[in-house]
Amino acid sequence: MKKLLSTLCTTALLVMSLAGCAGGNEAPKTAAGTSNSTAESGGGEKVTIKLLQFKQEITDKVKAMADDYMKENPNVILEAEVTKDYETILKTRFASGDEPDIFMTKAFTDITDWSGKLVDLSNEPWMSQVSPSAVAGMTVDGKKLGFPIALEGYGFIYNKEIFAKAGIDKVPTTLTELKQVNEKLKAAGIQSFAEGYKEWWILGQHLFNLPFATEKDPAASIENINKGQLKVKDIANMNGFFDVLDMTVKYGEGAESVGVSYDNQVSDFSSGKTAMMQQGVWTIDSINKINPNMKMGMFAIPLSDIAAETKMPVGVPGYYVLNNKSSNLEESKKFLTWLHQNGQKYLVDSFMLIPAFNDLKTTPELGPLAADLSAYVEGNATIPWAHTLWPSGANQDFAKPLQSYVGGQLNKEQALDEVQNIWDARIKK
């Protein structure tokens, strides 16, 4: 793991997703604790800490963690929520005055946008153990504003037994090889994909990240788009992105892909209905719940026929941050210290995340997806989560024209024109 982390340090733009990450942040709301802000217990006043986060795949485990914390700290009520439409809900909570004490934010653009409302955590006792690769994405004006929850990566997760059944003996590293894999699966009567394009983050964030992340200088290219000196359609591997998108539709659910949810996507893959899915390491626990005996792996998604260009996006999916207007700031800091001290139990063993702290260790229980991610990192075959450098909020909007493309309402040129219009409008805000 030390080698993994030291290699990650050299990647200038390693940044945050659930996603996995994952990006992802679609989940039913859950709560641990009560809704009372204060209560009497044993003659003492209880302090309520409101925590809001977006990682849907660990909803139940976040609730269990909160329950454990309250047992150890009977003076605290920890209201832990994992909520759907996270960004909208978070802004609504701040606008209404029902602000969380602790919430989750993403790297670079997102954490910068929120920086005026955040606490400087630079001097917290756990900060010295943060992986260097996690520092840049949470640093604004020299202040370290976040508690990184994990390192994550994503690509195509595949079923090794299905691949073997179709006569596939190696993972594809080029676009041509990816097409050949799909044709072999088709000939064997096996559906390749059931991609969850109903979810904006799977299409408009994770998959669409790839052409930007494979630029020679992603930050410079994105800045040139911001300045009007480059168009989205001019990104070098944009055609490769559409080639991959077309494959996932052709060898998957077709136009119906826009109706496939994250849960459906994971369920179809885990039950053996499909051979692959575009997801990340954060799905391991969900897959194992459905099929604990699955033999699986993960490979980087190729956008060209140059194998050396095929690399895996790796970054920090999110940071816990503290609201500087919180009336329970010291208790919130104590919680983060406790979470780091118990990070092996919760972040690694329970949440099944690859730790972003040097004093926490990966374990075999993290499974084959973490092992494959580590191989890409150790082989210096990673690319950044460049979407964190896009205009704030654009990722969710980008999904709409891309979904329309999948559904057949827009052609490629029209979809890219819509993306460009969204980008320009966001820059002007």
106 & 165 share domain: no
Q: Hey, which residues does 80 pair with through a beta bridge?
A: 51
223 & 328 share domain: no
- The domain boundary, picked from 385, 405, 420, lies at 385
Judge contact between 69 and 40, C-beta under 8 A: no
Query: Is the backbone of residue 86 left (phi > 0), alpha (psi -120 to 50) or beta?
Result: alpha
What is each CA distance from 83 to 28, 78, 181, in whole angstroms? 6, 15, 37
CA dist., res. 136 & res. 144, Å (int): 9
286 & 398 share domain: yes
162 & 133 share domain: no
CB atoms within 10 A of CB 170: 9
What is each CA distance from 108 to 21, 36, 84, 219, in whole angstroms? 16, 34, 22, 11
Q: What is the pLDDT of residues 39-78, one digit of tens each?
A: 333 446 899 999 999 888 789 999 999 999 999 999 999 9
The mean predicted confidence, pLDDT, of the chain is 89
Pairing, β 312-315 against β 382-383: parallel
What is each CA distance from 286 to 89, 203, 249, 266, 290, in whole angstroms? 25, 20, 24, 7, 7
Q: What is the pLDDT of residues 344-382, one digit of tens each?
A: 999 999 998 888 898 998 888 889 999 999 888 778 898
- Tally the domains of the chain: 2
* Sign of the C-alpha dihedral computed for residues 213, 216, 220 and 222 taken in this order: negative
Give Cα 212 distance to the centre of its chain.
Answer: 16
- 8-state DSSP, 364: G
Judge contact between 66 and 33, C-beta under 8 A: yes
First to last CA, the chain: 42
362 & 264 share domain: no
277 & 202 share domain: yes
196 & 137 share domain: no
103 & 80 share domain: yes
The predicted pLDDT at position 51 comes to 97
Token pair 């940071």 is at which residue? Answer: 319
Judge contact between 233 and 325, C-beta under 8 A: no
Q: Hey, which residues does 79 pair with through a beta bridge?
A: 50
The predicted pLDDT at position 429 comes to 67
207 & 294 share domain: yes
260 & 230 share domain: yes
198 & 263 share domain: yes
Of 144, 124, 123, 126, nearest in space to 135 by CA: 144
Residue 137's pLDDT band (cuts 50, 70, 90): confident
Angle between helices 238-250 and 394-407 in degrees, nearest 10: 50
* Token pair recorded at residue 362: 């990966």
- Domain of 102, CATH number, reads 3.40.190.10
48 & 176 share domain: no
Taking every pair of Cα atoms in the chain, the longest distance, rounded to a whole number of angstroms, is 71
Residue 255's pLDDT band (cuts 50, 70, 90): very high
Domain carrying residue 252: 153-314+387-428
SS3 of the chain: helix, strand, coil, percent, to 5: 50, 15, 35
Q: What is the pLDDT of residues 375-418, one digit of tens each?
A: 887 788 989 899 989 998 899 999 999 999 999 999 999 999 99
